[in-house]
Structure 1
Amino acid sequence: MTGRADVAGTTGSVLIVGAGPTGLTLACDLARRGVGVRIVEKSPQLPRSSRAKGPNPRSLEVLEDLGVLERVLAAGSTPLVMRKYRDAVAVADADPYAAQRPTPAAPYDRGWLMAQWRLEEILRERLAEFGATVELDTEITSYEHRGHAGDGPDPDSGGRIVARTARGTYIEADYLVGCDGGHSTVRKLMGATFEGTTHAEQVMVNGDVELSGAEGLSRDHWHQWFDEDGAVMLCPIPGTERSWWYQAGPERAPDGTLLPPSREGCQRTLDRHARLDGVRVSDAALLSTYRVNVRMVDRYREGRALLAGDAAHVHPIAGGLGMNTGIQDAFNLGWKLAAVLTGQAGAALLDTYEEERLPVAAWTLDTSSKRLGDVLAAIREPGGGLDAGITEETTALGLGYRWSSLSRRTGGPDTGLRPGDRAPDAPCHATGTGTPTRLFDVFAGPHFTLLGFGAGATGALAAVAARTAGGVAVRTCAVDAGPGTGLADTGGHARAAYGVKGDALVLVRPDNHVALFTTADDSAGVLDYLRGLGR
């Protein structure tokens, strides 16, 4: 049936409201885990937005795990050099990634430039491979918990959630997730607060434009014109011949009120700052006025209803964290919903979604606000530009959950890497065949991964593999354990990344964060962790 992942072996069901990158990431992750998915979008047409300019390094890792990385890389380009102008004269070029290089632990040292609508197309294609499609023109107007939900000590025992649509029909599911943006209906129905501030003075016009006569304007650069009385920016959209991302300050009437964005207004602003003879704005699609809001919810969950992405947090666009934080919300939530619905974990596991992601939302608001301040200060100086908003922290590779109740150490290596941290990659070789592989290849898919470093860990790996059959999905992998066993840490990169000198066990979560460090013989500790999820 349209909109559902009704394939053999599905367990439980989740209704996802909103079909942007957050909702689609969650839908793909759930569907591949055997959970029934229904994803709805209130717009009668598929959304086409290019406000986000692509996935950051951590989101690229998520997309690789979902099996779409090659498609993403083919559809976009490496970030462009930023060319800055004053008085229409080029004054500086900047490559904010010039000093960065991939490492064995972090193979993606920069984000990827691509239109948000193209990323959404790729995710819809992936979702269709699992048997689900987006249901358009379906607006959720209310929902209620039925059955035992909210009764007694366990709000998830029994019960369902029933949502009403604007057409008067009903959709029933085990859980509902609002991925419906900054004006989220689900958030309002949930009653979650959305505290913060709106910076009315920080306004920008965004959209896609088609340019004619622009053959002399390099599509190998992101052009940024900054003057004392305003700014305009043009970035070529990969995969197109004449389309550009347009960003500029708004036009104002003589009395100071904002004028609505228009093609003619884009042309006037471009003429004033760029002074490009013969370059015409031939079309301007989906122009919108963006006001800087810094807001977040007080909670991510109410019973069987949850929030993700912009429905839970909005913030300045500096640093490119918006869409990416939503994708990473979804990746955190997907495995937890699936574990609960398939009986691998207790319902209390869902409490860790808010426990882990609410602090990340607060960090994102703070970080993006600081990056915006850096950009505003930089553009006042000749040669300054948007590159001031790009730092190592905006890669999101350093984000983790050390504070989480899911992050445990019961022995094992005492290194800089801690439970809750992102699990690093490392190039290895299959023992026996010598075939090159990576830890990310081992992690990929809907399962925990237990890494056993050294020959002393092989017994524990066998014990865990035997006892989790039919329970929590775990892939075991011996590393550096001897000939014919698992992976050879040929260059020592795996041991270096995980800080393991002797023998040890490292349990990695399905969202590729470290769950547990322990000693090489502690199969009981690993099994206790897995059996105790959400219980």
Structure 2
Amino acid sequence: MSVDRSEGDACEVLVVGAGPTGLMAASLLKRRGIDVRIVDSRAEPSRESRAFALSARSLELFASLELAEKLFDEGVINSSVELFISGKRVGGLDFDRTHAEDTPFSFILMIPQARTEAVLIEALGEAGLEVERGLEVTGFEQDADMVRVHAKGSGGEAKTLRAAFVIGADGAHSIVRHTLGLSFEGAKYPQSFLLGDVEVDWALDHDRFRVFMHGERIGLFFPLKGSRLSRVMTTDLSAPPASDDPAVASALDLGELAASFAQATSLQVRLKNAAWLTRFRTHHRGVDRYREGRVFVAGDAGHIHSPAGGQGMNTGLQDAANLAWKLAAMIRDGAEDALLDTYGSERLPVAKEVLRFTDELFTTVAGQSGWRARLRDLLAPAILGPATSLDFIQGKAFRKFAQIDIAYPAGRFVGQGEADGQTTGPGPGKRAPNAQLSRHQDVFDLLAGYSFHVLALSRKRLDEAEASAIKRGMTALGAAGVETHVVARLASGRCEGIHVPERADVFERYGLETEEAQAVLLIRPDGYVAWRGEGLDLESCRAFLGRFRVAAMIGAE
């Protein structure tokens, strides 16, 4: 599908908003060969941001794009969360105890949102795409063929942009959402907060994330640059700010933040050298649908929630990863329009669960007042200490925050799992896990890049004829435009084009429990299993792939 460029500015996909979600969407679309534009009303990239944490699932995405190392250069690897009541440590999370061997990233990367955006902007530039700044979208209309988008430049001049599809990643005050008339049900939280990026002088170290509770006050400490810069946040018990927009929020004095944070921590604390100070309130809201015709919403345009758990930016990044390949499959590969509907059916339940989870977490920790806050402080030490001493609890908490156990429902574009004969291991709709193959390679090395992958696994030892046959079949699948990988034990030696694992991790993690077990998995660009078949049934894999790529079925003729 293409757009006639004879009438004004045109592209295949227009992304509105250059925050993390929009930048990721544009980057992924560009990687899939889509003619994409990204516009933002701001004259320059953001320098301040509330989002601060990247979860394991997001880091897996960045790693597949070869961008993770750039984030690590500027971020802080945080593997623990300490919980304090009235200045005394009462428990916490230690991600070193999670035994999450299916991800390379059993930690939270603490990095300001502005730096995450900078990495994505640089990657876009290297791909030949720049953010068009100072261009404010004011509305649009769509028909069966295109979307006509109205905008104005920094000087007030009117512009018309045309696109086959539009992604609204323009934040909580989204003009795209407003123009579509989507509901945005929810409410403001009654509490407001003080936030600052500052230098913290105290008796504790600057290495880990800490949560402080003391009556109606809550305090949060996030490590950013060792003792040089940290983020602190605390409850604001004064009048709420006049605006929810941090760009126009009422001024905050460093002394007020220091006094409030000291009360929340019950510690001697000195704050200095502030890089950013603000007051803010937060909401919990979500749309009822993610798509209207040719227009989609993603990230904060579709869901906003409390900062509890650091879920917001990560959820938006995964929205982008889910949507971009589907648009590319329709535009470039002739996939059915119904594939685009699965963006909403897959991601809307995730957003609702994030809203529920963050609201519950926020209410428990920061939403108490009066006798309820005092009761929480009284009971929490007896509950949190014993609970967080259990490795099971540590693992469950990490996987929830990391978003690595999210699964999508079966349907036309996600296989049926057990109906295909699968009993254990990752089935259709689940994330493809990592596993070690050798001293120098793991599964995620094979699945790098934002592409379809076919992964054939054989715990059964293949003789020369069997190895040659599976290689021929995979070569044919590769001709249909997918990446193919064979991981198998061999009867003797090694064979070019086949990865021979040095350990059994990959078979055990993918549910090949017997010495004769074999399986083929079709893995989507966003890292989720679309189809799985037991045995080495490549023709059934090709048939399912044809639901996404017409070329796959043409190659079979």
Q: What TM-score, normalized to structure 2?
A: 0.81
Q: What is the Cα-based RMSD across aligned positions, in Å?
A: 3.2
Task: State yes or no: 1:491 paired with 2:503.
Answer: yes
Distance 2:456 2:84 in 1: 54
* Deviation of 1:190 (Å): 1.2
Deviates more, 1:418-427 or 1:370-379: 370-379
The one of 419, 427, 431 aligned to 2:428: 419
The one of 113, 131, 134 aligned to 2:131: 134
Task: State yes or no: 1:331 paired with 2:331.
Answer: no
What letter corresponds to residue 547 of structure 2 in structure 1? G
User: Which structure 2 residues correspond to residues 3-402 of structure 1 after superposition, within 5 A?
Assistant: 13-79=12-78, 81-82=80-81, 89-92=87-90, 94-103=92-101, 105-145=102-142, 149-150=143-144, 159-167=145-153, 168-199=158-189, 201=190, 203-211=191-199, 214=201, 218-238=205-225, 242-252=228-238, 260-263=250-253, 264-270=255-261, 272-273=263-264, 279-283=270-274, 285-291=276-282, 293-376=283-366, 380-381=377-378, 390-402=397-409
What letter corresponds to residue 509 of structure 1 in structure 2? R
Seen in structure 2, the aligned counterparts of structure 1 residues 355 and 45 have a Cα distance that, compared at 3 Å, is same
Distance 1:436 1:445 in 2: 18
Distance 2:308 2:456 in 1: 41
Contact 1:65–1:444 (CA under 8 A) maintained in structure 2: yes
Contact 1:176–1:305 (CA under 8 A) maintained in structure 2: yes
Contact 1:458–1:481 (CA under 8 A) maintained in structure 2: no
What letter corresponds to residue 350 of structure 1 in structure 2? L
Seen in structure 2, the aligned counterparts of structure 1 residues 392 and 476 have a Cα distance that, compared at 3 Å, is closer
Q: What TM-score, normalized to structure 1?
A: 0.84
* Deviation of 1:86 (Å): 5.5
Name the count of aligned residue pairs. Answer: 498
Contact 2:222–2:232 (CA under 8 A) maintained in structure 1: yes
Seen in structure 2, the aligned counterparts of structure 1 residues 49 and 412 have a Cα distance that, compared at 3 Å, is farther
Secondary structure at the residue paired with 1:131? coil
* Deviation of 1:53 (Å): 2.0
Structure 1: 5+ residue stretches without partners: 1-10, 151-158, 430-434
Contact 1:449–1:510 (CA under 8 A) maintained in structure 2: yes
* Deviation of 1:423 (Å): 0.5
What letter corresponds to residue 230 of structure 2 in structure 1? W
What letter corresponds to residue 60 of structure 2 in structure 1? E
* Deviation of 1:346 (Å): 2.9
**Structure number with higher helix proportion:** 2
Partner of 1:528: 543
Contact 1:406–1:420 (CA under 8 A) maintained in structure 2: no
Contact 1:65–1:445 (CA under 8 A) maintained in structure 2: yes
Deviates more, 1:457-466 or 1:245-254: 457-466
* Deviation of 1:316 (Å): 2.3
Seen in structure 2, the aligned counterparts of structure 1 residues 253 and 60 have a Cα distance that, compared at 3 Å, is closer
Deviates more, 1:384-393 or 1:484-493: 384-393
Deviates more, 1:490-499 or 1:384-393: 384-393
Seen in structure 2, the aligned counterparts of structure 1 residues 231 and 361 have a Cα distance that, compared at 3 Å, is closer
What letter corresponds to residue 208 of structure 1 in structure 2? G
Seen in structure 2, the aligned counterparts of structure 1 residues 390 and 281 have a Cα distance that, compared at 3 Å, is farther
Structure 2: 5+ residue stretches without partners: 1-9, 551-557
* Deviation of 1:390 (Å): 4.8
Distance 2:84 2:421 in 1: 54
What letter corresponds to residue 448 of structure 1 in structure 2? F
Partner of 1:439: 443
Distance 1:278 1:418 in 2: 50
Partner of 1:5: none
The 4+ residue runs of structure 1 with deviation greater than 6 A are 275-278, 384-389
Distance 2:164 2:224 in 1: 40
* Deviation of 1:265 (Å): 2.7
Seen in structure 2, the aligned counterparts of structure 1 residues 412 and 474 have a Cα distance that, compared at 3 Å, is farther
Distance 1:371 1:251 in 2: 20
